[in-house]
Amino acid sequence: MSPQDLRNKIDQILHTPNACSPEEFIEAATLYANLTNNLNRRLTLCHRWIDQGLRCEAIHMASLEPDILDNLSAIDLGEALEDWTLLCEANNAPIAQRVNWEQASFLNEAWDMEERLSSQLRNLRTAILDKASIADRIGILRTLLDIDPNNLAWDTMTRELEHLRVLELEDELETASERKDLKKLKALEAEIHSADWREPPPMDLLSGSVAQRRKAKKHRTQRQYNKLAKALHAAMYEGDPIEATKLRTSWDQVQEVARIS
């Protein structure tokens, strides 16, 4: 007998108690008590796993036949539960436990959380299989942490990858500094000083990223000055005051950008 058929049988008995034999009543009461007790037992186990951070395991347990949430919905007698309990007591039939709806709500929340995480979990699996960069994997894990901040697994994985990313950043910073790649240095500085780190990067990396970006900025500014100086000298030598004025304006603009950056 399916849970829904059992529920229908109980509704029929409650509506017309004399419509079934004593044996049929005892059978229905026994089935209902056993099913309720089994669902409560599994609910308790799922709740324990959720508390331990084993949400996937809890959901797997809940989805095994008979599916916990589906069957709880099917056998919920609502306000009729009290009448059914009194009827069972009067006929010395097994009395079902009350469903632990609080634990059921926690399980339902776990299902909702898993659905919210599903797309990012797919992204993480794809990133791992495709051997995506450490930075990309960290980005996915940080998104998972935004959705599920209490999951220790995401936190641990993120911290481990961040440690590896720090080593990469040290090398990338050195390479960008040697090439005087200001655009890259700005991007590295922004990443290093981001508030998203689970643990802040080392102080020497924090200060080094600023120093190297300023050094590259100074180098670029000097090159701009040198170029403008040559052009300004040529304009003045050729007696071109209009061009000289334009170049002087450009000089002032470079100077202002250098001052505020």
Structural domain contains residue 57: yes
Rounded to the nearest integer, the mean pLDDT of the chain is 88
Confidence of residue 76 (pLDDT cuts 50, 70, 90): confident
The pTM of this model reads 0.65
Residue 224 has pLDDT above 80, yes or no: no
Whether 156 and 250 map to the same domain: the answer is yes
Residue 64, φ and ψ in degrees, nearest 5: -65, 150
Structural domain contains residue 127: no
Taking the C-alpha atoms of residue 213 and residue 192, their distance in angstroms, rounded to an integer, is 12
Side-chain-side CA neighbours of 53 within 13 Å: the count stands at: 9
Whether 69 and 155 map to the same domain: the answer is no
CB atoms within 10 A of CB 230: 11
Range of the domain at 176: 133-260
The C-alpha R_g of the chain, in whole angstroms, comes to 35
User: Per the structure, how many domains does the chain have?
Assistant: 2
Per the omega criterion (within 30 degrees of 0), is the bond before 66 cis? Answer: yes
pLDDT in tens, 198-214: 999 999 999 999 999 88
Whether 144 and 255 map to the same domain: the answer is yes
Whether 108 and 156 map to the same domain: the answer is no
- Which is more confidently placed, 218 or 134? 134
Under a CB-based contact definition with an 8 Å cutoff, are residues 223 and 254 in contact?
no
Whether 98 and 141 map to the same domain: the answer is no
Whether 137 and 64 map to the same domain: the answer is no
Average pLDDT over residues 234-260: 73
Q: What was the pLDDT predicted at 241?
A: 81
pLDDT in tens, 5-42: 888 889 889 888 787 888 899 999 999 999 999 999 99
Taking the C-alpha atoms of residue 58 and residue 109, their distance in angstroms, rounded to an integer, is 12
pLDDT in tens, 109-126: 999 988 889 999 999 999
Q: Which two tokens stand for residue 245?
A: 């004025």
Closest CA to 6 of 84, 92, 101: 84
Whether 68 and 151 map to the same domain: the answer is no
Q: What was the pLDDT predicted at 217?
A: 81
Q: What was the pLDDT predicted at 257?
A: 66
pLDDT in tens, 128-151: 999 999 999 999 999 999 999 988
